[in-house]
């Protein structure tokens, strides 16, 4: 899900800090220095009408069930009224609309932003620091990894909504019929892929999605890669680490040997292969359970789910997607906006209203909402498997070392373009990763951000 954002150059201001950081914040502790704008260009606290009488806030988003959620909030709260506008999904034009509105000074109070894109908006000074409103009590209710991804430079920039732990979905009937073991390691996955192809020349147990770099990024995240870090007042970019090389070589081998598909994600071709029984496995995330069920409802009872294979068989994972709510820099009603966002993230009423629009396997960042989400999802498609129990274990295994960079749109656009060529035999995945790093560094220089060693 590449995000291409437009931006003007920004001047980097050096900052130093003597604040000590907890273990979970160390990965991003230097981000305030490298982004520079976290303290300088990002909106401050300021006056906030949300602390007083009834106020009206504006909210832009696109996720399914949002209108029902807003209606429920407005019906049960008399201190805040929310005016909602549906916009295209982030990568389909929503982020460009938000960015343009911020520049024009007419942005809404609250916006939906996915985790990978949050640092980019922060680095452009588009968001308000909402640390005063994100209390310790709220953080304790949420998945720690989700809180970490919204905490940049020790400051809070968004309220997490959902998390998206990696999962593996597979045709249990096919695996059972051909006595193929569900893979626990990536070595097992290759063995299973070869066995599936031998049993049925058309069968593939997974797909490399050339148009969705975040799937690949979740894989390198799982393996322990850390593409972005800080060094003094500069960014450090490294996609040539051993973990990334290992993952890249592994998937290149699967592609070269024809053991996986390389169709565009959720395209007619990929969906047809699912329906025909040629694609018998799906490497996705928690939200994918609902999507898959909706695509092939006639295959109910034939599918199952398992944790994502790992390199050593021990629990480990990245995150594939997930979204947050952030307050734009010029909002004068941050307290009200965060109150609404907190309600959406933590209230059973909110998740019930959202699910009234249709079934979803989205995994709430708030622990208290997971039983509500589990009860609302009919798991018969997966043989009544305890999906949310699997999600819990996979979410707990998400690595806490990963940080997204400040030019995610550029990084992912370059990956998407080069992955597409590599999938067609024009270059390799390793070439694609190098090209993405080069494009990322060029864009960071263009924006006035320092890059260590470059």
For residues 105-120, b (16+ Cβ closer than 10 Å) or e, as one string? eebbbbbbbbbbbbbb
Q: Does 310 lie in the same domain as 351?
A: no
Q: Does 413 lie in the same domain as 438?
A: yes
Which CATH number characterizes residue 140's domain? 3.40.190.10
Residues of the chain with pLDDT under 70: 1-52
- pLDDT reported for residue 231: 85
Q: Does 175 lie in the same domain as 241?
A: yes
DSSP 273-337: HHHHTSB-EEEEETTHHHHHHHH-GGGTTSEEEEEPPBSSSS--B-B---EEEEEBTT-S-HHHH
- pLDDT reported for residue 331: 98
Count other Cβ atoms within 10 Å, centred on residue 176: 12
- pLDDT reported for residue 48: 54
**Domain residues for 328?**
23-163+321-379
- pLDDT reported for residue 6: 32
Q: Does 189 lie in the same domain as 218?
A: yes
Residue 80 β-bridge partners? 55
Global confidence as pTM:
0.89
> What six digits make up the tokens of 368?
């208290």
**Is residue 134 in a domain?**
yes
Q: Does 199 lie in the same domain as 187?
A: yes
Q: Does 276 lie in the same domain as 416?
A: yes
In this structure, the strands spanning 281-285 and 166-171 are antiparallel
For residues 414-427, b (16+ Cβ closer than 10 Å) or e, as one string? bbbbbbbebbeeeb
């Amino acid at each position: 899900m590449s995000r291409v954002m437009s931006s003007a150059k920004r001047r980097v201001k050096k900052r130093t800090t003597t604040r000590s950081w907890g273990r979970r914040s160390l990965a991003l502790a230097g981000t305030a220095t490298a982004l520079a704008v976290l303290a300088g260009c990002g909106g401050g606290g300021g006056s906030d009408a949300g602390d007083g009488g009834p106020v009206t806030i504006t909210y832009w988003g696109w996720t399914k069930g949002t209108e029902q959620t807003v209606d429920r909030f407005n019906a049960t709260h008399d201190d805040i009224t929310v005016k909602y506008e549906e916009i295209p999904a982030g990568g389909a034009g929503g982020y460009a609309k938000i960015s343009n509105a911020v520049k024009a000074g007419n942005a809404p109070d609250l916006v939906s932003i996915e985790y990978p894109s949050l640092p980019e908006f922060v680095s452009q000074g588009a968001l308000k620091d909402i640390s005063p409103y994100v209390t310790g009590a709220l953080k304790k209710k949420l998945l720690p990894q989700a809180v970490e991804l919204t905490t940049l430079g020790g400051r809070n920039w968004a309220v997490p909504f959902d998390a998206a732990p990696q999962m593996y979905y597979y045709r249990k009937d096919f695996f059972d019929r051909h006595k193929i073991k569900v893979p626990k390691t990536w070595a097992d996955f290759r063995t299973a892929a070869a066995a599936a192809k031998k049993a049925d020349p058309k069968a593939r147990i997974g797909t490399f999605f050339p148009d969705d770099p975040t799937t690949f990024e979740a894989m390198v995240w799982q393996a322990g890669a850390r593409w972005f870090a800080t060094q003094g007042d500069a960014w450090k970019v490294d996609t040539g680490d051993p973990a990334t090389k290992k993952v890249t070589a592994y998937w290149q081998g699967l592609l070269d040997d024809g053991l996986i598909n390389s169709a565009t994600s959720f395209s007619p071709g990929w969906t047809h292969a699912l329906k025909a029984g040629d694609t018998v496995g799906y490497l996705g995330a928690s939200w994918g359970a609902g999507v898959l069920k909706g695509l092939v409802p006639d295959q109910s009872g034939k599918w199952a789910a398992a944790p994502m294979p790992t390199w050593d068989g021990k629990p480990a994972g990245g995150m594939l997607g997930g979204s947050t709510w952030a307050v734009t820099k010029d909002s004068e009603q941050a307290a009200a906006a965060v109150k609404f966002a907190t309600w959406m993230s933590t209230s059973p009423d909110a998740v019930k209203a959202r699910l009234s629009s249709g079934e979803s396997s989205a995994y709430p960042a708030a622990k208290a909402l997971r039983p509500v989400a589990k009860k609302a999802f009919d798991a018969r498609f997966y043989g009544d498997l305890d999906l949310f129990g699997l999600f819990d274990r996979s979410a707990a295994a998400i690595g806490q070392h990963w940080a997204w960079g400040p030019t995610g749109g550029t990084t992912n656009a370059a990956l998407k373009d080069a992955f597409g060529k590599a999938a067609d035999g024009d270059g390799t995945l390793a070439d694609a990763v190098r090209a993405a790093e080069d494009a990322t560094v060029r864009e960071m220089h263009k924006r006035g951000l320092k890059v260590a060693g470059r």
